[in-house]
Structure 1
């Protein structure tokens, strides 16, 4: 079987797997992608959105998933309140979550809300509590890492959207849509 590489814009409340969890109302990848024997490279939590790469190439999947290779993943993160310079610097240096210090990350406060499709259901709105958007680029992918990092510095995550995996981005995709990688993108992924 030839190598397949798929980019998918995972919507909110979709599991990053093809099999259903018993009793779960969440949709799965099989509700969107009908290509046999492709598997996600890494995961996005059910309550996270954004870019997911799927492939049937186990070697590439392992290399991109293994933190020792340091492949960057970029997220737009909406947080409760507006982080101060100290919180941003702490995120950049790495924070301790569950007894583990995260690797240094690239973190910046976005000047305005990014152009994203509305989430269904929308995040909670509190009239007296402002929110802010961060752009965070990590080179590891621990379970719920971004959410735990922002919570550790006092700014809980409200919405989390992965917008890039290395050089691959969400451009041209809407939630629930997927496409095959171009030949040039496949060369980037195969390194």
Structure 2
């Protein structure tokens, strides 16, 4: 499998794992299985997201660089929240007990969870906006990514499973669409080269 094909697979498998994790929620919390799947989703998805930002680098170098950094930090936050769900359920803590325990370590909690956590859904929002501006993919696709990323935190704050499933499906569909329509690395390079001549 080529690196390009691996990146496209990542853009499908990552959100698919995330969508699957929601089916294992226990009273609106990730639980052991859901937490592991959510952490794996972030780890798998990041490769494809970084590849998408790399396609934008020639056209929008500053924006792409910021996007790359925020995506990596957001991935760390996604993994951290998934593992929090795993350990929370594994040790038998309630959601309130888990948050209270974490809040006793304010700086560490901000560095591990509350800071990078929101960057995870922010990544597709920024990516969608950048793709929209660069016109690298169809406009409806860029808007779909933007909207899906913006809807993600709302689906998690309310902890309402049907809402979470709908948002997860929308995020999966838009990321899979991106996998299908994102220009290949060589196509992107040829366009950039042709534009600079």
TM (norm. structure 1) is 0.27
Q: Which has the higher strand share?
A: 1
Q: Which has the higher helix share?
A: 2
